[in-house]
Chains A and B, each alone.
Chain A
């Protein structure tokens, strides 16, 4: 009897030790972020627009630098900037230019991206004037008939507060967030495309790269021309398309070592095929030394002229 009791006892001891270990492991966790570039781990966080591209670039970078791991996480441009600032990430990704209060950061443009208006493929509209777009988004035009279409109510698809696409759109059309009378508010590009594809009377605006890719894949959407310029990756590339933005890598101090290698790699011609594959537009001639605040470099890179 006593033997059996002891056996059960040690069994229980084993169980409790196991439980203790579990606790200890849970407690420890893994101190996240704060990429240790020297040990071969680079953390990149930020814009969900840049993340898929950055992930591809990282894959290629890793294959050329064995032992290096690049960790790409999304969370939006603001997170990219906050993480680069706090040092949680080695590099941030921002799909917009830096704001005035972010002047202490360094921006390294890696590609450009255009934003275009999309409607359902069944909608006969080909192009809208600036006034019509403003009218539709502020609610003064609420039927497609008034914009040259069929007699149907317009479903206005807008982006959520804080998105860089929204800021770019508002700035281009000289609107304010409060003026927009939206019927649907969406998060990312794909959700916007699905919403418009599912509603013949909807209008929205998304990244040209994603829209052109999806339209080519048979999703029933049409990209609207803007100011007489067709919304194509090619017109963004040539700088004709008025509504475009720069995709940046952001860092709080001049990058060194592996991080510098990664930034240089992301800006080199070696990744242009990846940029094009993801329907973004490579920069024509990447600057070697980005200026502080990088604004001049940025503007010249996207020499596009959106007059705002």
Chain B
């Protein structure tokens, strides 16, 4: 049993002067400062800092670009105005973020409302011992679904789904169509991540449940899901983040009218679609107002990621640190 924990070949004990850290707490040898390990460590850290720095720079850039709008129009007016006509002068135009915020929220809620139950059900079925000839092709199909580019979904939505919805309830390009396409797109995220969270549940617990005479449903509901809770919630939250950020497919099927939707079949505009549609053509203040919308989106996604982290119980911060000296 102890051999399994050793990094080197089992049976041959680690030499006492090994430069490698043993166990969780790093035991850094005296000569560490000049060893290849330390050089690698510095390089990797540098890369890490650079990539984190890029995120910081993106945030700063978006803030800088949004600043004219935040300063001259102001967030209160962006929330108080009722319409989005940003092309004119600051005094005449109206710069409400509500229509796009409402659109983004509505489409995302609809998409996750459809995708989460389906994805979780799929993960549960995969988890509870589907025969292999069924499970493997199903899994491959789900992975394929994850790999299809979003513009393909959008094109399918525009040429197939929207005309169908239109025949049923015009104008077709609507909140309903957008939510449906988005649900199909985020389904693999929910399903695959939830499945891998369920796969992480200790088999001993499952066997224990079987030994107690629980049926499959009870095992799933009372053992597997509670044990994989944080992973499953992360799966859903990451899917929400993806839904918030999706642009092309939603732009093609949801109508993009900047108006708060009143029904499922009203056209809606998301923040991402708003930016994609208008950025190339926007003048000074218009452009800045679009960046303000982008900032809101960035903050929303940041909030979701933080929530995700928190749900994971701060596992990251508990990881052993290489830098810790003893």
Decide: A199 near B40, CB < 8 A? Known: A160-B281, A183-B257, A191-B252: no
**A22 CA to B269 CA in the complex, in Å?**
40
B37 touches A201 (CB 8 A): no
> B36: which A residues are within 8 A, CB to CB?
8-13, 16
Q: Mark B251-292, 1 if CB is under 8 A from A, else 0.
A: 110011110000000010100000011111111001000000
> A76-102: which residues lie under 8 A (CB-CB) from chain B?
76-79
B282 touches A185 (CB 8 A): no
> A1-59: which residues lie under 8 A (CB-CB) from chain B?
1, 5, 8-13, 15-16, 19-20, 22-23, 26-27, 48
> B158-172: which residues lie under 8 A (CB-CB) from chain A?
158-159, 162-163, 166, 170-172
Q: Is A124 an interface residue (CB 8 A)?
A: no
> B47: which A residues are within 8 A, CB to CB?
19, 22-23
B87 touches A202 (CB 8 A): no
B35 touches A48 (CB 8 A): no
Q: Is B57 an interface residue (CB 8 A)?
A: no
**A153 CA to B36 CA in the complex, in Å?**
73
> A178: which B residues are within 8 A, CB to CB?
83, 85
> A48: which B residues are within 8 A, CB to CB?
280
Listed residue (B173, B269, B280, B286) with the most chain A CB atoms within 10 angstroms of its CB:
B280
What is the distance, in angstroms, from B143's C-beta to the closest C-beta of chain A? 29
Q: Is B44 an interface residue (CB 8 A)?
A: yes
What is the distance, in angstroms, from B14's C-beta to the closest C-beta of chain A? 12
A177 touches B170 (CB 8 A): no
Contact of B170 among A23, A158, A201 (CB under 8 A): A201
B166 touches A155 (CB 8 A): yes
Decide: A12 near B39, CB < 8 A? Known: A19-B47, A155-B172, A194-B159: yes
Q: Is A149 an interface residue (CB 8 A)?
A: no
Contact of B158 among A155, A177, A194 (CB under 8 A): A194
**A259 CA to B51 CA in the complex, in Å?**
39
Listed residue (B42, B85, B173) with the most chain A CB atoms within 10 angstroms of its CB:
B173
> A194: which B residues are within 8 A, CB to CB?
158-159
Decide: A199 near B162, CB < 8 A? Known: A78-B283, A162-B278, A187-B276: yes
**A20 CA to B44 CA in the complex, in Å?**
9
Decide: A183 near B173, CB < 8 A? Known: A12-B40, A16-B36, A198-B163: yes
What is the distance, in angstroms, from A47's C-beta to the closest C-beta of chain B? 9
Closest to B41 in A: A16
B87 touches A162 (CB 8 A): yes
Decide: A13 near B277, CB < 8 A? Known: A178-B83, A194-B159: no
B43 touches A16 (CB 8 A): yes
Q: Is B86 an interface residue (CB 8 A)?
A: yes
Classify chain B's interface size: 35 or more
Q: Is A163 an interface residue (CB 8 A)?
A: yes
Contact of A155 among B35, B44, B46, B171 (CB under 8 A): B171
> B171: which A residues are within 8 A, CB to CB?
153, 155, 183-184, 199, 201-202
Q: Is B13 an interface residue (CB 8 A)?
A: no
Q: Is A228 an interface residue (CB 8 A)?
A: no
Q: Is A75 an interface residue (CB 8 A)?
A: yes
Q: Mark B148-180, 1 if CB is under 8 A from A, else 0.
A: 000000000011001100100011110000000
Contact of A9 among B35, B83, B269 (CB under 8 A): B35
B158 touches A75 (CB 8 A): no
Q: Is B68 an interface residue (CB 8 A)?
A: no
> B278: which A residues are within 8 A, CB to CB?
160-162
What is the distance, in angstroms, from A219's C-beta to the closest C-beta of chain B? 11
Q: Is B2 an interface residue (CB 8 A)?
A: no
**A3 CA to B126 CA in the complex, in Å?**
50
B255 touches A162 (CB 8 A): no
Decide: A77 near B281, CB < 8 A? Known: A182-B257, A183-B173, A201-B170: yes
**A178 CA to B257 CA in the complex, in Å?**
12
A185 touches B255 (CB 8 A): yes
Decide: A1 near B257, CB < 8 A? Known: A78-B282, A195-B158: no
B277 touches A185 (CB 8 A): yes
> A20: which B residues are within 8 A, CB to CB?
43, 46
Contact of A198 among B35, B42, B83, B172 (CB under 8 A): B172
B166 touches A177 (CB 8 A): no
Contact of B87 among A15, A26, A161 (CB under 8 A): A161
**What are 29 pairs between A and B in contact, CB < 8 Å?**
A10-B36, A12-B36, A16-B39, A23-B50, A76-B279, A76-B280, A77-B281, A78-B280, A78-B281, A78-B283, A155-B166, A161-B286, A162-B278, A162-B282, A162-B286, A177-B87, A178-B85, A183-B170, A183-B255, A183-B267, A184-B257, A185-B257, A187-B251, A187-B276, A198-B159, A199-B162, A199-B166, A199-B170, A201-B166
A contact set with B: CB distance below 8 Å? 1, 5, 8-13, 15-16, 19-20, 22-23, 26-27, 48, 74-79, 152-153, 155, 158, 160-164, 177-178, 182-187, 191, 194-195, 198-199, 201-202
Known: A13-B39, A19-B43, A201-B171. 7 other contacts (CB 8 A): A13-B36, A15-B40, A161-B87, A162-B87, A185-B256, A199-B166, A199-B172
